Structure 1
Amino acid sequence: MLWSDHAIWWHVHPLGFLGAERVALPADEPPRHRLPALADWLDHLVGLGCNGLALGPVFAAETHGYDTVDHFRIDPRLGTEADLAELVERAAARGVRVLLDGVFNHVGRSFGPFADVARRGADSRYADWFVPEGDDFRTFEGHGHLVALNHACPAVADHVTAVLDHWLDLGVSGWRLDAAYAVPLPFWRTVTDRVRARHPDAWFSGEVIHGDYAAYVTEGGLDSVTQYELWKAIWSSLNDANPHELAWALKRHNTMLDTFAPQTFVGNHDVTRIASRLRDPRQLTHALTLLFTVGGVPSVYAGDERAWQGVKEDREGGDDAVRPAFPADPSGLGSDGLTVQRLHQTLVGVRRRHPWLVRAQTRVHTVSNAALTYTLASSDPDSAPGAAVAVALNFGPAPATAAVPAAAWTHAAGDTVIDPATGSVSLPPLGWSVATAPEIPS
Structure 2
Amino acid sequence: MQEVFYHIYPLGFCGAPEHNDGKLEHRILHMLDWLDHIEKLGVTALYLGPVFESDRHGYDTRDYNMVDTRLGTKEDLQKVLTAYKERGIKIILDGVFNHAGRGCPFFQDVIKYREQSQYKDWFYIDFNNRDNPDGFSYANWEGHAELVKWNLDNPAVKNYLLSAVDGWINDYQIDGIRLDVAYTLNQNFLADLNHFCKQKNPDFFLLGEMIGGDYNYLLNDGLCDSVTNYECRKGIYSALNSKNLFEIAHSLQRQFGSDPWSLYTDKKLYSFIDNHDVDRIASIINDQRDLPLVYSLIFAMPGIPAVYYGSEWGALGQKINHSDAGLRPYFSKPEWNDLTDLIAKLAKIHQEYDVLYTGDYQQLYLTNEQFAFSRNSGDEQLIYCMNIADQPVQMQFDTHKTTAQDLISGELIDLSNGVELKAKTALILV
- Mark yes or no: TM-score above 0.5: yes
Given that 1:11 and 1:268 are in contact with CA atoms closer than 8 Å, whether structure 2 keeps it comes out as: yes
Question: How far off is 1:162 after superposition?
Answer: 1.2
Q: RMSD over aligned Cα, in angstroms?
A: 1.9
For 2:291, the equivalent position in structure 1 comes to: 284
Q: 1:235 aligns with which of 231, 237, 248?
A: 237
Q: How many residues align?
A: 414
Indicate yes or no: 2:162 matched with 1:161: yes
Code of the residue aligned with 2:168 in structure 1: it is W
Q: Please list every run of 5 or more consecutive structure 2 residues that lacks an aligned counterpart in the other structure.
A: 130-135, 257-261
Indicate yes or no: 2:94 matched with 1:101: yes
Given that 1:417 and 1:433 are in contact with CA atoms closer than 8 Å, whether structure 2 keeps it comes out as: no
Given that 1:99 and 1:174 are in contact with CA atoms closer than 8 Å, whether structure 2 keeps it comes out as: yes
Once residues 65 and 316 of structure 2 are traced to their aligned partners in structure 1, the CA distance between those partners, rounded to angstroms, is 34
Q: 2:330 aligns with which of 311, 325, 330?
A: 325
Once residues 291 and 262 of structure 1 are traced to their aligned partners in structure 2, the CA distance between those partners, rounded to angstroms, is 11
Question: How far off is 1:414 after superposition?
Answer: 5.7
Q: 2:416 aligns with which of 413, 418, 421?
A: 421
**Greater Cα shift, 118-127 or 228-237:** 118-127
Within 5 Å, which residues of 2 pair with 1:305-316? 305-313=312-320, 315=322
For 1:86, the equivalent position in structure 2 comes to: 79
Indicate yes or no: 2:16 matched with 1:15: no
> 1:393 and 1:417, CA in 2 relative to 1: closer, same or farther beyond 3 A?
farther
Given that 1:294 and 1:361 are in contact with CA atoms closer than 8 Å, whether structure 2 keeps it comes out as: no
Code of the residue aligned with 1:369 in structure 2: it is N
Indicate yes or no: 2:430 matched with 1:433: no
Once residues 400 and 240 of structure 2 are traced to their aligned partners in structure 1, the CA distance between those partners, rounded to angstroms, is 27
For 2:20, the equivalent position in structure 1 comes to: 24
For 1:383, the equivalent position in structure 2 comes to: none
Given that 2:355 and 2:375 are in contact with CA atoms closer than 8 Å, whether structure 1 keeps it comes out as: no
Once residues 356 and 118 of structure 1 are traced to their aligned partners in structure 2, the CA distance between those partners, rounded to angstroms, is 55
Code of the residue aligned with 2:376 in structure 1: it is A
Given that 2:280 and 2:327 are in contact with CA atoms closer than 8 Å, whether structure 1 keeps it comes out as: yes
Given that 1:257 and 1:360 are in contact with CA atoms closer than 8 Å, whether structure 2 keeps it comes out as: no
Question: How far off is 1:410 after superposition?
Answer: 1.2
Question: How far off is 1:358 after superposition?
Answer: 2.0
> 1:257 and 1:314, CA in 2 relative to 1: closer, same or farther beyond 3 A?
farther
Runs ≥4 residues deviating over 6 A: none
For 1:127, the equivalent position in structure 2 comes to: 120
Question: How far off is 1:360 after superposition?
Answer: 2.5
Code of the residue aligned with 1:153 in structure 2: it is N
For 1:373, the equivalent position in structure 2 comes to: 372
The secondary structure found in structure 2 opposite 1:409 is strand
> 1:287 and 1:102, CA in 2 relative to 1: closer, same or farther beyond 3 A?
same
Once residues 93 and 431 of structure 1 are traced to their aligned partners in structure 2, the CA distance between those partners, rounded to angstroms, is 37
Q: 1:189 aligns with which of 185, 188, 191?
A: 191
The secondary structure found in structure 2 opposite 1:282 is helix
Within 5 Å, which residues of 2 pair with 1:161-240? 161-170=162-171, 171-218=173-220, 221-240=223-242
Question: How far off is 1:139 after superposition?
Answer: 1.0
For 2:311, the equivalent position in structure 1 comes to: 304
The secondary structure found in structure 2 opposite 1:218 is coil
Code of the residue aligned with 1:413 in structure 2: it is I
Spell out, residue by residue over 1:188-245, the C-alpha distance to the aligned partner (whole angstroms, 9 max, x if none).
0122112222232211101111122122121552111111111111111111111111
Spell out, residue by residue over 1:293-329, the C-alpha distance to the aligned partner (whole angstroms, 9 max, x if none).
11211111010111001112452xx2111111011x4
Once residues 365 and 94 of structure 2 are traced to their aligned partners in structure 1, the CA distance between those partners, rounded to angstroms, is 39
Once residues 250 and 414 of structure 1 are traced to their aligned partners in structure 2, the CA distance between those partners, rounded to angstroms, is 25
The secondary structure found in structure 2 opposite 1:99 is strand
Question: How far off is 1:119 after superposition?
Answer: 1.5
Once residues 188 and 368 of structure 1 are traced to their aligned partners in structure 2, the CA distance between those partners, rounded to angstroms, is 42
Given that 2:355 and 2:382 are in contact with CA atoms closer than 8 Å, whether structure 1 keeps it comes out as: no
For 1:137, the equivalent position in structure 2 comes to: 138
Code of the residue aligned with 1:370 in structure 2: it is E
Indicate yes or no: 2:129 matched with 1:113: no
Q: Matched residues, percent identical?
A: 33
Question: How far off is 1:274 after superposition?
Answer: 0.9
Question: How far off is 1:179 after superposition?
Answer: 0.8
**Greater Cα shift, 232-241 or 341-350:** 341-350
Given that 1:406 and 1:421 are in contact with CA atoms closer than 8 Å, whether structure 2 keeps it comes out as: no
For 2:152, the equivalent position in structure 1 comes to: 151
Once residues 256 and 200 of structure 1 are traced to their aligned partners in structure 2, the CA distance between those partners, rounded to angstroms, is 25
Q: Please list every run of 5 or more consecutive structure 1 residues that lacks an aligned counterpart in the other structure.
A: 380-385, 437-442
Once residues 314 and 218 of structure 1 are traced to their aligned partners in structure 2, the CA distance between those partners, rounded to angstroms, is 38
**Greater Cα shift, 292-301 or 147-156:** 147-156
